[in-house]
Each structure stands twice: as structure tokens, then as C-alpha cells.
């Protein structure tokens, strides 16, 4: 899901986005938490420990904190990221 963002971001300005620790934190959290959500929703044989659940909540809070910092420091990156995520499905089929 995030590969299109990185491709777009790197074409836009590779020095401004790549290596941004807040953006990396957000992207990793989105990827990891989405994966955990799928496991929790569809793998009925999988049980989660309380610590795993609180770790996921902590990851979510870290991503939200990173998002808040990024919104202040680099609002143009936030707009590009959000727009890419929202529009990617409709744009990915275009040549």
C-alpha cells in the first residue's frame, strides 16, 4: 500500500522525504498494524497476549505522535502522503 507513496515522494523530491524518521515511523506502523488487524480478524487459531495488544496500541500512539510532528514540520509531505493513499486505487490503473 505504501510503495506508491514512496515512488511518488521520491520523484517529487527525494531529499526531502526519504530518511524522514517520522514518516518512516508512520509507514512502518501502518504496515505492521494492518497486518496484525488481518491476523486478528481472520486467523481464528491465533490468540493474542495482552502485551501484544498493548504493544500494538503503543505503536499506534507512536505513529499518531509522529503524524502530529510531521504536520507541523512538513505539511507538504503530509498532503502528498494523504493524497497518495486516498487516490492510489483510482490512479494505479492509469498508464
Tens-digit pLDDT profile for the chain (95 aa)? 555 555 555 555 544 555 678 998 998 999 999 999 999 999 999 999 999 999 999 999 999 999 999 999 999 989 988 898 888 877 666 64
The predicted structure's pLDDT at residue 15: 46
C-alpha distances in Å from residue 18, one per residue of 1, 14, 62, 77, 81: 17, 6, 19, 11, 12
The predicted structure's pLDDT at residue 37: 95
The predicted structure's pLDDT at residue 14: 44
The predicted structure's pLDDT at residue 88: 80
Domain ranges in the chain are: 19-90
Query: 49 CB contacts (<8 Å, ≥6 apart)?
Result: none
Amino acid at each position: 500500500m505504501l510503495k506508491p507513496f514512496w515512488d511518488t515522494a521520491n520523484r517529487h523530491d527525494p531529499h526531502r522525504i526519504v530518511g524522514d524518521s517520522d514518516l518512516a515511523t508512520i509507514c512502518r506502523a501502518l504496515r505492521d498494524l494492518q497486518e496484525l488487524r488481518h491476523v486478528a480478524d481472520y486467523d481464528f487459531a491465533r490468540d493474542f497476549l495482552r502485551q501484544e495488544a498493548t504493544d500494538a496500541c503503543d505503536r499506534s500512539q507512536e505513529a499518531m505522535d509522529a503524524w502530529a510532528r510531521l504536520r507541523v514540520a512538513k505539511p507538504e509531505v503530509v498532503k502528498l502522503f494523504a493524497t497518495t493513499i486516498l487516490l492510489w486505487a483510482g490512479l494505479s490503473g492509469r498508464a
